[in-house]
Amino acid sequence: MDSNITPSPAGKRGRNSSVILTDRMCEKRVAQRAKFYDRKCPGLYVSITTAGPATFSFKFTDRTTGKQRTGWLGVYNPETFTVEDARSKVYGLKGMGGGALAETFRDQKAKAAQNGKTVSEIIEERIDWMKTPVRKPDGEMRPRLEAWENTASHLRRFVGARLGKKLVREVTKNDIATLSNDIVAGKFGRPSVSNSRHMRKAASGLFNWAAEAGRDYVTASPCVNLPKLDPEHPRTRVLSEDEIKTFWHGLDRNDLPYDRRTRLALKFELVTMLRSRELLGAHRDELFDLDGENPRFDVPLKRVKKRRAIQQPLSGLAVEIIKEALRGSNKQYVFASPLGDQPLHRKAMADALRGDSRKGKVRTPGICALLGLKPFTPHDLRRTAATLAGDLGFDDAWIAKCLDHAASKKAEVVVPTVTGKVYNHSKRMKEKRAVLDGVAAELRRITGNSADAGLRLVA
């Protein structure tokens, strides 16, 4: 058995030296990578790096090929795999005989090809898997996970940044918990319980995927039984009547540094209660009966949060906004980007309200700042419209339909979930139209934009 021990000059120990290995030696920090062979067990050596744990390996000669080979034994752990454990493993391997020994390490090498991946490597594999197009229920080919960009962002920004160089099988529950706490503490920017929660969800999906049969990168996910996060406080921002009036008329100012269709999209969200993603992709083919008695906007399921198609009735005010957005345009998208016949970017409305800052300096003030309004988001416009509807006396179940929420109670009577999911596919167009027409009339009253400004509809 050739241990390949390299003699060291007197008074100085070389990088690849022969010593009597001890646990204390494995726990020491080194300035550069070092390899030490064990004098008591020829062939056994430990490799210690500046950043990672000490790892044991065994060097031997493959009698079949006559070449020297190296087999990986394991990572040093003071409780589960010490120097004595490594020696015992080598003695057991030597007792197997040359042929069996080589075959054992061939199997181990194949397994190491899977288990030896870093966190960064499996993150990129996971992202490729998520964005791979597959056929959806509506027949279209779209990414396997349609919100993959958000998940990819949380994996790269948090998990990859902290644990990327670590071997995936070495990630522990404590690593995930520490990362989660650091996000909450603000070590990755602004303190955020929400980002910590999203990171945990993305990491859990990653490690569960990595543990599936056929990959076997890990045996179990480290994202289990983590300490509970503090509850997130729900946003409650609702615009007052004065703020609505200032906002509505302010959007018509010609000196605002934002595209007219972006400003119309903000009005449209307040009038229709639709989500930004749902309305920004509005296409001419999705609009029906604009000049008739029952105008509506059909949102395909691929743009809807719950992946169910929405038929949203359009009030007269909503139709006016659409017609202005389409006036003088030959583009197919209602809220088309100034860059071409494509929808506005999904963050266009939020960016317009917030403004543009770089390194703490404001480059372009947001609409809220320009109009002297307390900051709010596009989603707050949905909440404001729903609040107006509630103040008008409309039933919560009707308002929930307009918001595309699943109503669980009506008149204090619990409705079985299966009823809404499986049996009741009614779009409740009549009730939705009543709510949205009521909100439109209320907005006209608030903004003074109607001949019947004094009329207040009550459900």
Summarize pLDDT for 152-176 with one digit per residue, the tens.
999 999 999 999 988 888 899 999 9
CA angle 163–165–169, rounded 5-degree value: 75
Residues 6+ apart with CB under 8 A from 388: 439, 442, 443
Q: Which is it for strands 34-38 and 16-19: parallel, antiparallel or unpaired?
A: parallel
- For residues 416 and 270, membership in a common domain is answered with yes
Residues 6+ apart with CB under 8 A from 425: none
- For residues 101 and 124, membership in a common domain is answered with no
Q: For position 325, which CATH number holds?
A: 1.10.443.10
- For residues 125 and 199, membership in a common domain is answered with yes
Q: Which of 64, 88, 115 is the last residue of a domain?
A: 115
In-domain check, residue 218: no
Structural domain span for residue 202:
119-210
Element (H, E) at 288: strand 287-288
**Phi then psi dihedrals of residue 18, to 5 deg:** -100, 120
In-domain check, residue 331: yes
Helices of type H across 283-338: 316-326
CB atoms within 10 A of CB 324: 14
Residues 6+ apart with CB under 8 A from 262: 335, 344, 348, 349, 352
Structure tokens at 426: 């009614």
- For residues 274 and 412, membership in a common domain is answered with yes
| pTM of the complete model beyond 0.85 | no
- Distance CA(317)–CA(319), nearest Å, equals 5
- For residues 198 and 256, membership in a common domain is answered with no
In-domain check, residue 384: yes
Instruction: Count up the domains in the chain and report the number.
Output: 3
Q: Tens place of pLDDT for every residue, the chain, 459 residues?
A: 443 333 334 344 444 568 899 998 888 888 888 889 999 998 899 988 776 678 898 888 877 777 787 887 888 888 888 999 999 988 888 877 666 666 666 555 555 555 578 899 999 999 999 999 999 877 889 899 988 999 999 999 999 999 998 888 889 999 999 999 999 999 888 899 999 999 999 999 999 999 887 888 888 899 989 999 998 877 889 999 999 999 999 999 999 999 999 999 999 999 999 999 999 999 999 999 999 999 999 999 888 887 788 999 999 999 999 999 999 888 999 999 988 889 999 899 999 999 988 777 888 899 999 999 999 999 999 999 999 999 999 999 999 999 998 755 444 444 444 444 444 445 588 999 999 999 999 999 999 875 443 333 333
- For residues 104 and 152, membership in a common domain is answered with no
Q: For position 69, which CATH number holds?
A: 3.30.160.390
Q: Which of 210, 226, 261 is the last residue of a domain?
A: 210
- For residues 144 and 108, membership in a common domain is answered with no
- For residues 269 and 367, membership in a common domain is answered with yes
Which residue type, as a one-letter code, is found at position 212?
E
- For residues 72 and 128, membership in a common domain is answered with no
What dihedral angle (degrees, nearest 10) is formed by the CA atoms of 190, 192, 195, 197?
Answer: 160
